[in-house]
Structure 1
Amino acid sequence: MNLASSSTGTELLLLLFAFVLSMVIGVERQIRQKSAGVRTHTLVGTGAAVFTLISAFGFPSVLFGTDVNVDPSRIAAQIVSGVGFLGAGVIFMHRDMVRGLTTAATIWMTAAVGMACGAGMPVLAVAATALHLITVGPLARLTKYLPSPDRRKLITVRYVDGAGVLRAILATATSMGFEASVLRTEVHREDGRQQVRASMRFTGRTPLQSLVIALDDLEGVTGVQLADDDYD
């Protein structure tokens, strides 16, 4: 698709393409209740398309008849860098667990879709959107059946003794689809309270990082640590 002599109507059509495709990606993120949803992804994709359209078609008319050359790829490179900072805003750490990487990558992907639309390549933008939906949909479900390094991990939980915390731990794990087995417990005093240190093995399809964060938020739990499984 050659847009060297693109009309305003064509530019608006490309912008609409970017808006719709970015919104589709945002709806998928919203349904999965991620930190960045429809509005964020729609704005990122549409904004990237606007910047790309400006860089590709905005300056030649202004510089017509001059000897100044414009490199449209310079703005495209700045879009990639700018969106990288935006994506970093949805990544956070909780203890030694990192969350938000997939959402950050999705924001980056949405910007790429918007840039493809702005550059006059709607077919590529549609293909990229379809591949994104495949990656976070069927492919994500397929990876649940692949061998996971989590199967070689143990969770060590420290909690206050005699307060019913162990029941809450097991109930939380069960509600998240895990099967739990307690391998070893040690009782000790810490901060003037009797506490239990339990080494536990959890098996399930959900990443253990999610369980670690959930257990750490339970009342009576004083510490959660993910470690290698040395009991086999």
Structure 2
Amino acid sequence: MADEVITGLRELPLLVELGSALVLSSLVGLERELRAKSAGLRTHTLVGVGAALFMLVSKYGFGDVLEFDKVSFDPSWVAAQIVSGIGFIGAGLIFVRRDVVRGLTTAATVWLVAAIGTACGSGLLLLGTATTAVHFLVAVGYPRVLRLMRSALREPQVVRIGYLDGYGVLRNVLTLCTSRGWKVLDLQVEREDTDADEQRTAVVAVHLQGKQPVADLVNDLTELDGVLHASAADSAESGI
């Protein structure tokens, strides 16, 4: 009885490592849960704690066996088995629908949580904490950086529009552009004429930036009343 109590007391410090795996894997799982991913809080937490427990057992669970002569083992093989074994869970999270692969990031996150749990079980708490921080940097920070880069690299488009002046056509043109998700960067009047019937016409170059195909916008503009013609121009030719 006394030996069991002593053994239990020796295991108490290991609860710190197991608890660290619980906290860190729960943080990662909470982020996935809030994003409504297929693997959420419970899955990530169980994977992280399970990996930590496997590592702790491999380190401290065979002390009685090592008392015998000519008995030795390498605890690092358990970490290798965790890496290969977690692949079964990750594979179940990945699916293909209409040639679109989904679930790769969540599967990678489960794999990462297993690594965090293994690190905690090995006593590398600082390394596990740093890896958790890296997860949030990649999962939360990277998408924002990518959106900024795509916005910066997206080349402006130039649409030349000929219309009847004096009928509010230009106002309708700009309203249509913004309603289609385009941002008006600049507007330059290239030509103004008056024909024999004393109708004033004008040609403007509208500098736009957006995600939609500019050809669709041009087609919509040509259908507006008062628009004589519309065409997309090369942004390089327009001095952008």
TM over 0.5: yes
RMSD over aligned CA atoms reads: 2.6
Name the residue aligned to 2:133: 130
Name the residue aligned to 1:54: 57
**1:179 Cα deviation (Å)?**
5.0
**1:89 Cα deviation (Å)?**
0.8
**1:85 Cα deviation (Å)?**
1.6
Distance in 2 between the 1:70 and 1:52 partners?
14
Name the residue aligned to 1:104: 107
Unpaired runs of 5+ residues, structure 2, are 1-8, 155-179, 182-209, 217-234, 236-240
Asked if residue 21 in structure 1 is aligned to residue 24 in structure 2, the reply is yes
Name the residue aligned to 1:30: 33
Is the Cα contact below 8 Å between 1:60 and 1:70 reproduced in 2?
Answer: no
Name the residue aligned to 1:115: 118
Q: Deviations over 1:93-127 (max 9, x none)?
A: 01211011110110000000000000011111111
Distance in 2 between the 1:86 and 1:147 partners?
33
> Which AA in structure 2 matches 1:48?
A
The one of 65, 68, 73 equivalent to 2:68 is 65
Distance in 1 between the 2:94 and 2:106 partners?
8
Is the Cα contact below 8 Å between 1:49 and 1:115 reproduced in 2?
Answer: yes
**SS, match of residue 59 in structure 1:** coil
> Which AA in structure 1 matches 2:65?
V
> Which AA in structure 1 matches 2:124?
M
Distance in 2 between the 1:43 and 1:35 partners?
15
> Which AA in structure 2 matches 1:96?
D
Query: How does 1:209-224 map onto structure 2 within 5 Å?
Result: none
The one of 143, 147, 151 equivalent to 2:146 is 143
Distance in 1 between the 2:147 and 2:214 partners?
24
How many residues were matched structurally?
Answer: 157
Query: How does 1:67-216 map onto structure 2 within 5 Å?
Result: 67-147=70-150, 179-181=211-213, 183=215
Name the residue aligned to 2:173: none
The one of 1, 11, 14 equivalent to 1:11 is 14
Name the residue aligned to 2:192: none
Unpaired runs of 5+ residues, structure 1, are 1-5, 152-172, 185-231
Q: Deviations over 1:115-150 (max 9, x none)?
A: 0000011111111101111111112211122349xx
The structure whose Rg is larger is: 2
Q: Which runs of 4+ in 1 moved over 2 A?
A: 60-63, 145-148, 178-184
Distance in 2 between the 1:143 and 1:30 partners?
22
Distance in 1 between the 2:213 and 2:78 partners?
55
